[in-house]
Amino acid sequence: MGEALTKKNRFLSSLTEGNSTHSYAALKELEHLDFPNRKTEDWRYTRVAPLINKLLRQSAVRPETENFYIPQLQSHKIVFSNGNLIKNEVADNNRITIKKLETSDLLLNSQASIDEIFTTINTAYTHGGIYIHLDKNTILEKPIEIIHLIDGQNTFAQIRKLIVLEQGAEAQIVEGYYSSETGLSFTNAVSEIIVKDNAKLHLDKIQFESEEHWHINSEYVYQESNSNFTINTITLNGGTVRNGLNISVDGNNCETNLNGLYLLKGKQHVDNHTKVDHKQPHCTSSELYKGMIDDQATGVFNGKVFVREDAQKIEAFQQNSNILLSENASMNAKPELEIYADDVKCSHGSTTGQFDDEALFYLKSRGISEKNAHALMAAGFAEDVLVNVTNEFIKLHINKLLKERFNWEL
């Protein structure tokens, strides 16, 4: 225990050097928490020891950001560089607030749990943050584009977002996470999202970081009655990526859509953990996560759906499908349902296999090279998720990154 505490304190001291305390309650809680290990059920397939044995630091900002904007996308732009907010294009509308996140905003609205150590670290110390608030019945015509850049050897970036949509508000947000190729770095991001009565939020998240980058992203979403929340998590590059998505559906007639696509090669590791907690009746939730895993890469999917005793008339669907492209690739999948109501329609499933040899043979017999035959089948496999990306410029950007990453020639 002493050695573990020493490692924790050493790691935390490197992250928090020069930072002031943000929340004393979280700081106190941090004293009783340790990093997950193989015996921690939710982390049994994702080892954090290689990260916590490193000494990380905050680094100077990188001013060149324009190359990371989505081409042709007209948007309200927010840019973080190494965890620092460097651009905030506030919408020209007094019904929209986009500003630096203050301590009072976080403490008044916090939905995040402080029993998970990386979220607690984020809560305990100051960080770069943004507060996005839409007044009642405000409908954004342009999406909000949030760019996260991380650059430099052993760089640490900590980011916090609070997003609140009041009754009847509607918004689309696209987040892009990018990094340089200059060595190990770490992003610890926490998002708190409140979608109030009859509000609608569509979120596209693109992860395209270096193969030495660590990324832990924790999202806490709270839905009120008649709300609609959709998130598409597209992971195309990164070293070790952990996406924790926690949805509290605490109203009637809500719709929740969670979609994910992860295309892995080399020694990448991507872990998607989702939790949808149905607390009220007459709601629907749908999850579709698909992965293609090559070389020595590893994938993890753990999806949990809870249906509380009073949450009757729930329809919950969960599907995870994976393609292994090499003998050394691996996937660990665990879809789960925990149901305490008796009038529900819930299903879950997971499949892991390889591309159909007959389909490959058919494409090659039509003069298509083996490489492009694989690319065509991969594109078809991915389209079930990408169809949920409704903005054409965002989808074109994702397809461009796919071709860049995998050298597809479609």
CA-to-CA distance for 127 and 16, rounded, in angstroms?
10
91 phi and psi angles, rounded to 5 deg? -60, 145
Average pLDDT rounded to a whole number, residues 45-69: 84
> In the numeric block, which tokens belong to residue 327?
């003998």
173 in Cβ contact with 205 (< 8 Å): no
Q: CA-CA distances (angstroms) from residue 188 to 157, 203, 219, 344? A: 6, 19, 11, 37
Q: CA-CA distances (angstroms) from residue 182 to 52, 149, 212, 240? A: 19, 13, 9, 16
Percentage of residues in the chain having pLDDT higher than 90: 62
Alpha-carbon 323 to chain mean position: 21
Q: Would the pLDDT of 22 be above 90?
A: no
Considering only residues 92 and 204, tell me which one the structure prediction assigns the higher pLDDT: 204
Best CA proximity match to 7, nearest among 54, 74, 69: 54
pLDDT tens for each residue of 275-298: 999 999 999 999 999 999 999 999
Predicted pLDDT of residue 113: 66
> In the numeric block, which tokens belong to residue 257?
């859509």
Binned at pLDDT 50, 70 and 90, residue 409 comes out as low
pLDDT tens for each residue of 368-377: 776 677 777 7
> In the numeric block, which tokens belong to residue 19?
């930072």
pLDDT tens for each residue of 161-198: 999 999 999 999 999 999 877 778 999 999 999 999 99
Least confident among 124-128, 238-242, 265-269, 289-293: 124-128
Q: Would the pLDDT of 391 be above 70?
A: yes
Average pLDDT rounded to a whole number, residues 190-212: 96
Binned at pLDDT 50, 70 and 90, residue 378 comes out as confident
Q: Would the pLDDT of 410 be above 60?
A: no
Q: What angle is formed at CA 78 by the lines to CA 121 and CA 128, rounded to 5 degrees?
A: 20
Binned at pLDDT 50, 70 and 90, residue 4 comes out as low
Indicate the pTM of the whole model.
0.93
Q: Would the pLDDT of 3 be above 70?
A: no
Average pLDDT rounded to a whole number, residues 81-93: 80
**Region of 266 on the Ramachandran plot (φ > 0 left; ψ -120 to 50 alpha; else beta):** left
Average pLDDT rounded to a whole number, residues 315-329: 94
Least confident among 34-48, 300-314, 360-374, 389-403: 360-374
Q: Would the pLDDT of 233 be above 50?
A: yes
Total number of domains constituting the chain: 1
Binned at pLDDT 50, 70 and 90, residue 361 comes out as low
State the residue range of the domain holding 100.
2-406
Q: Would the pLDDT of 39 be above 80?
A: yes
Least confident among 49-58, 293-302, 303-312: 49-58
Predicted pLDDT of residue 5: 59
**Exposure pattern of 337-373 as b/e (b: 16+ CB <10 Å)?**
eebebeebebebebebeebeeeebeebeeeeeeeeeb
CA-to-CA distance for 189 and 42, rounded, in angstroms?
18
Best CA proximity match to 37, nearest among 27, 52, 26, 54: 52
Longest pairwise C-alpha distance within the chain: 66
Predicted pLDDT of residue 271: 98
Helix (H, G, I), strand (E, B) or coil at 339: strand
Percentage of residues in the chain having pLDDT higher than 70: 88
Considering only residues 64 and 286, tell me which one the structure prediction assigns the higher pLDDT: 286
Predicted pLDDT of residue 38: 86
Predicted pLDDT of residue 30: 86
- On average, the pLDDT of the chain sits at 88
> In the numeric block, which tokens belong to residue 48?
């954090």
